[in-house]
Amino acid sequence: MKQIYENYTQEDQDVWRILFSRQWENINTVATEEFVKGIDKIEFTEKSIPNFEETNKHLAEQTGWQVAAVPGIVDDDKFFELLANKIFPATTWLRTKDQLDYLEEPDMFHDVFGHIALLTNQHFVDFLQGLAKIGLKHIDDEWAIHLLSRIYWFTIEFGLIREQGELKIYGAGIISSPGETKFSLSDEPDHFNYDVEAIIDSSYRKDVFQTKYFIIDNYEQLYTSLDTIEKVIEDRLKEKTVN
């Protein structure tokens, strides 16, 4: 599948402009510095929907990653295969004006605005690729993939980072959501330091704001935790077999 850029309508461009402008105002001071830098590196603006061909040129210079168009949510095996090969799958369809505040299924704004900027950070993409390789290793074990999804959820989608003593957001699920941006940094949810075992033992829901968030100190911490992630998953699989 390819992104057919000329198929975007004026309404599509207007929706992108509204979503980008509104969310940038919310996050430009609370998003991780690497996201802000990444937006500049890949030249995303509110003026127009990103063209994947141009985006990929910028990503190639930064980390060697690429964005590939997909029709929607892809199966686990295909998803991990793409990530393992430094390719991030992203939808090309955009919500309509009457869906600005809520969508059940992630659209292009979530996939592209939320995820792509951090693909310019080497430690972050190395972590993403490492998770994918663990996923491929255990692809035939549904429980292992479920446990791995918790790591992905509480980092790539809903992770927080501590920068200069302040909490910042880096997870795409937060970055693309005005409501979750404010909620995640408030005193309402629980905040915990990054802990692989605690995350793997934490369930989550997709239809509400998260009740807990995990905080990393830097992106290298994610990358260096890959061995621990694989070990804890294997330990949980052994425990399940025994029980």
Q: How far apart are CA 88 and CA 117, in angstroms?
A: 12
- Closest to 22 (Cα-Cα) out of 211, 179, 186, 184: 179
Q: How is residue 27 written in tokens?
A: 């996050």
Which residue ranges make up the annotated binding site?
110, 115, 157
Residue 243: the pLDDT is 65
- Provide the pLDDT for residue 196: 98
Residue 240 pLDDT: 80
Could you give phi then psi for residue 31, rounded to 5 degrees? -80, 150
Domains with residue ranges and CATH for the chain: 5-242 (1.10.800.10)
Known binding-site residue numbers for Fe cation: 110, 115, 157
Q: Enter the tokens of residue 195.
A: 């802990």
pLDDT, position 241: 80
**pLDDT of the chain along its 243 residues, tens only?**
899 999 999 999 999 999 999 999 999 899 999 999 999 999 999 999 999 999 999 999 999 999 999 988 889 999 999 999 999 999 999 998 888 877 677 889 999 999 999 999 999 999 999 999 999 999 999 999 999 999 999 999 999 999 999 999 999 999 999 999 999 999 999 999 999 999 999 999 998 999 999 999 999 999 999 999 999 999 999 988 876
Cα(180)–Cα(206) distance, rounded to whole angstroms?
12
Quick check: 169 and 185 in contact, CB under 8 A? yes
pLDDT of residue 158: 98
